[in-house]
Structure formats: structure tokens, C-alpha cells
């Protein structure tokens, strides 16, 4: 069995500036975010031959996901990856929303020593 004080000792020694905490979203918000991401990934796969259209779809997707989930830092790398021509055929939006739902998002520790 592990010693509970060992975990707090590790936290005291940690010098990280961010902590990842799962966020609590309603089932409706998560379902809506997954639908938005899924539709965007399907449409993005067909627009991979016309990058400007794909970029517009990705910008609208990012905006809708920001409205649905609030400000999530993990959405920004998804937007960058989707903007790379040829990479948009992979379901990055679904992966990003899944990561936010399961892992949460990195939040800076402010005022904690």
C-alpha cells in the first residue's frame, strides 16, 4: 500500500506551473461538442483538396467549440493541426474534444506556492 504522505511530498517538490483537472461539463454540452467535432471532421475530409474552404470550416468549428466548451487551451493545437494541408483528413477535432472531456485542460497555478 502506498503512503498518503508520499503523494503530498511529491506535490510539494513539484515545480510545475500547470495542473490538469477534469472539467465538469453537462452531458448535453459534451454531446454537442462531439457532434460539432464529428461533423467538422467529416466535412474536413472532403475539403482537404481545397484548403481555404477547409480553413473556414475549421475556424467555424473552433468558434463553435469555444462557445460550447468555453475557453479551452487544447482547442488551439487542434486548430493549428487542422490548418496543415493533408493533415485535416485525420479526426483531430474528435481527439481534442475527447481529450478535453477525459483529461481536462491545463490551467496555470496562480498564487499557489
pLDDT in tens, 50-96: 888 888 999 999 999 999 988 888 888 888 888 887 777 788 899 99
Mode of pairing for the β-strands spanning 18-21 and 105-108: antiparallel
Domains of the chain by residue range: 28-108
Q: Which of 1-5, 47-51, 109-113 has the lowest mean pLDDT?
A: 1-5
**This prediction's pTM:** 0.69
State the pLDDT confidence band at 107, using cuts at 50, 70 and 90: low
Amino acid at each position: 500500500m502506498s503512503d498518503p504522505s508520499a503523494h503530498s511530498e511529491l506535490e510539494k517538490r513539484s515545480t510545475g506551473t500547470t495542473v490538469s483537472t477534469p472539467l465538469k461539463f453537462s452531458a448535453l454540452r459534451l454531446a454537442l461538442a462531439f457532434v460539432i467535432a464529428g461533423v467538422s471532421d467529416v466535412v474536413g475530409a472532403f475539403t482537404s483538396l481545397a484548403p481555404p474552404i477547409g480553413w473556414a470550416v475549421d475556424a467555424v468549428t473552433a468558434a463553435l467549440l469555444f462557445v460550447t466548451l468555453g475557453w479551452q487551451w487544447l482547442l488551439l493545437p487542434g486548430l493549428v493541426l487542422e490548418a496543415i494541408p493533408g493533415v485535416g483528413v485525420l479526426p483531430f477535432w474528435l481527439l481534442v474534444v475527447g481529450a478535453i472531456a477525459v483529461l481536462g485542460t491545463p490551467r496555470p497555478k496562480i498564487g499557489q506556492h
